[in-house]
Amino acid sequence: MSTVSTKSQETIKLNFESFIEWDNNPFILFSNEGKIIYLNHAAEILFGYASKEDLYHIALTYAPQNFGHKMTQLTLTYDTFIFFAISVGYENEEQLSLRLYHMPPSKPKLVPKTDNMVMTDINILLEANIALFRTKNTNTLRLLADQDLPPFKIDQNHFSKLLRKALDSFRASDSIDITLKLLIGQHILIDAKKTAIVHLSIKANGRYNDADTLIESLATEAHIKCITTEYAIILEIPFIRNDE
Amino acid sequence: METFFTTSDKIHQIIKSFHLTKTLFVSSVIIGDAHIGKKTLARYLFPDAIMVSGGNQHKVESLLEKDEEIIISDFEKLTNPQALDFTNKRIIATANYVTNPSVVDRLFAFIYTMPSLEERPEDITFLSKKFVKEAQSLLMLKDKHIDIDKIALNLTHNNQSLRQSIYTYLIKQNISIDDIIQMLFEYFYTHYDGKDNYRKHIQIFEKPLIEAGLKKYGSQLKLSHALGINRNTLRKKIHEHRIY
């Protein structure tokens, strides 16, 4: 609720909450004890990947010295979410707000060449690459894959190379978790068409990052969004089904 | 259909990966020592594929233009592997070693390393039995009992030297005194040269005669009795033939 003074000095009440609620950037209001008083829809999704304590700690660290609001530019990465700035504010002793600003997505200028792409069951490529990985390593490997994922267009050779490199960066990791799923409700625009995304994540307690540049360039060439972190490689693969 | 036997986990994983990618358009290479069964494995997995040697770059290039499934053996012999394009082809290559790792890395999605025979003890037992059977049939020794443990198996050149050592053993087992005389005749006939031939060649007869006797009787005195020659003569001959 906000109180707005008009020219005629009349006071009317307006509800801004829904504008905050449906903003694409996450917004969280903490109490002075670190409890969440309010969070918008985008923040709700973010909490699937970031902890409350972590975000509260960030808010405290970057809070302005005096009452007011302070914007700080920094890079924060949670899974596939990348933020380039945050703003922290408080106007009383009880409430502290944190707003995170999404990094604008880089739009791939090239349209994927579908000539080399063949309808493929991604699970087969993934399992074949795991078998290859197992010829060289004995690490524990858990696979949680959506076996019903329908075939889609993949440059099989190129994608296998990318998978080999990505898995190879986990050659010394203790236990590797691989998940493969179709992202619900998320799309990317390819050639002005809404395309669904297949999410492949490989995570472990640590990994080698010597081939990251190559992995990223292989992914970019295949129009796959690649996020590399200290512990994980996440690939967001366009779910291209036909030539229409 | 040709079968491929192995107890090696690593090779089982390679076979699994190949079975999964059998229908896909990916390029794979099997790297490993000479004569460990790489070509046999490729042939077993892809019985209908055309096989071409890397020693003939021109033929490889022309096949790549019209065929979509090719086995390239001796990949290391290609003069210009960089020039090859494996896009949307099913390529299975075998290589004894890698001359240019970056080219192999760029061309192939699946890079398998096949263990040598020495790393697969159970395969050695299986192959030895197989080669003994094969040699028995070829050399017409089917009824003869062969104790594999007595054969000095040679693994320096994997399957090839293993097979050779078994054949040599079996031939030796079946040799008659007439064969030995015949062989000696051939040898002497081709090696008569210059003067002093008696002294030069007598060791072929005397050395094994004395060595076997020493092993059997354990002492020079007993052996001199068995041979019916003087002890001093025997000692002189032992010294002459450098038997220790």
The whole-angstrom distance between B87's CA and the closest CA on chain A is 7
CATH superfamily, domain B9-115, is P-loop containing nucleotide triphosphate hydrolases (3.40.50.300)
Buried/exposed code over B143-159 (b: 16+ C-beta within 10 A; e: otherwise) = eeebeeeebebeeeebb
Buried/exposed code over B105-128 (b: 16+ C-beta within 10 A; e: otherwise) = eebbbbbbebbebeebeebbeebb
Q: What is the pLDDT of residues A170-218, one digit of tens each?
A: 998 888 999 999 987 777 777 777 888 999 999 999 899 999 999 999 9
Q: Do the Cβ atoms of B26 and A116 come within 8 Å?
A: no
User: What is the 3-state composition of chain A as percent helix, strand, coil, each rounded to the nearest 5?
Assistant: 25, 40, 35
Q: Do the Cβ atoms of A157 and B86 come within 8 Å?
A: yes
Evaluate if residue A3 carries a pLDDT over 60: no
| Residues of chain B found within 8 Å of residue A164, distances taken between Cβ atoms | 109-111
Instruction: Find out whether A163 and A185 touch, Cβ atoms under 8 Å.
Output: no
Give the residue, B54 or A114, on which the prediction is more confident: B54
Give the residue, A103 or A181, on which the prediction is more confident: A181
Give the residue, A198 or B143, on which the prediction is more confident: A198
Q: What is the pLDDT of residues B190-207, one digit of tens each?
A: 999 988 899 889 999 999
The whole-angstrom distance between A162's CA and the closest CA on chain B is 8
Q: What is the pLDDT of residue B172?
A: 87
Q: What is the pLDDT of residue A111?
A: 61
Range in A152-161, A200-209, B4-13 with the lowest mean pLDDT: B4-13
**Cβ–Cβ pairs < 8 A, chains A and B:** 62
**Residue in B13, B24, B27 closest to A120 by CB:** B24
| Residues of chain A found within 8 Å of residue B25, distances taken between Cβ atoms | 118, 156-157
Sheet holding A68-78, edge to edge: A36-39, A27-31, A95-102, A81-90, A68-78
Q: Do the Cβ atoms of A118 and B86 come within 8 Å?
A: no
Cα A25 to its chain centre, rounded Å, is 13
Q: What is the pLDDT of residue B27?
A: 93
Q: What is the pLDDT of residue A159?
A: 93
Q: What is the pLDDT of residue B152?
A: 87
Q: What is the pLDDT of residue A1?
A: 46
Q: What is the pLDDT of residue A244?
A: 46
Evaluate if residue A49 carries a pLDDT over 90: no
**Of the candidates A113, A54, A115, A62, the residue with the CA atom closest to the CA atom of residue A85:** A62
Buried/exposed code over B188-202 (b: 16+ C-beta within 10 A; e: otherwise) = eeeeeeeeeeeeeee
Domains of chain A plus CATH, in order, are 2-102 (3.30.450.20), 118-238 (3.30.565.10)
Q: What is the pLDDT of residue A241?
A: 84
Tell me which chain B residue has its CA closest to the CA of residue A218.
B106
| Tokens representing residue A61 in the block | 């660290």
Residues contacting B140, CB < 8 A, separation 6+? none
Q: What is the mean pLDDT of residues B104-118?
A: 92
- Please give the mean pLDDT across all residues of chain A: 86
Q: What is the pLDDT of residue A243?
A: 55
Q: What percent of chain B has pLDDT over 70?
A: 99
CATH number assigned to the domain covering B178-240: 1.10.10.60
Q: Do the Cβ atoms of A132 and B86 come within 8 Å?
A: no
Q: What is the mean pLDDT of residues B137-142?
A: 84
Domain extents for chain B?
Answer: 9-115, 120-173, 178-240
Q: What is the pLDDT of residue B99?
A: 86
Cα A90 to its chain centre, rounded Å, is 28
Reported confidence tier of residue B148, pLDDT bands at 50, 70, 90: confident
Evaluate if residue B136 carries a pLDDT over 60: yes
**Residue in A116, A131, A161 closest to B20 by CB:** A131
Q: Do the Cβ atoms of B27 and A157 come within 8 Å?
A: yes
Reported confidence tier of residue A237, pLDDT bands at 50, 70, 90: very high
Q: Do the Cβ atoms of B21 and A124 come within 8 Å?
A: yes
Q: What is the pLDDT of residue B178?
A: 94
Chosen from A135, A138, A154 to mutate, greatest number of chain B CBs within 10 A = A135
Q: What is the pLDDT of residues B165-199, one digit of tens each?
A: 999 999 888 888 999 999 999 999 999 998 889 98
Q: Do the Cβ atoms of B109 and A161 come within 8 Å?
A: yes
Q: Do the Cβ atoms of B24 and A132 come within 8 Å?
A: no
Evaluate if residue B141 carries a pLDDT over 90: no
Q: Alpha-carbon torsion B70, B76, B80, B83, what sign?
A: positive
Instruction: Find the chain B residues whose C-beta atoms sit closer than 8 A to any C-beta of A.
Output: 10, 13-14, 16-17, 20-21, 24-27, 86-88, 108-113
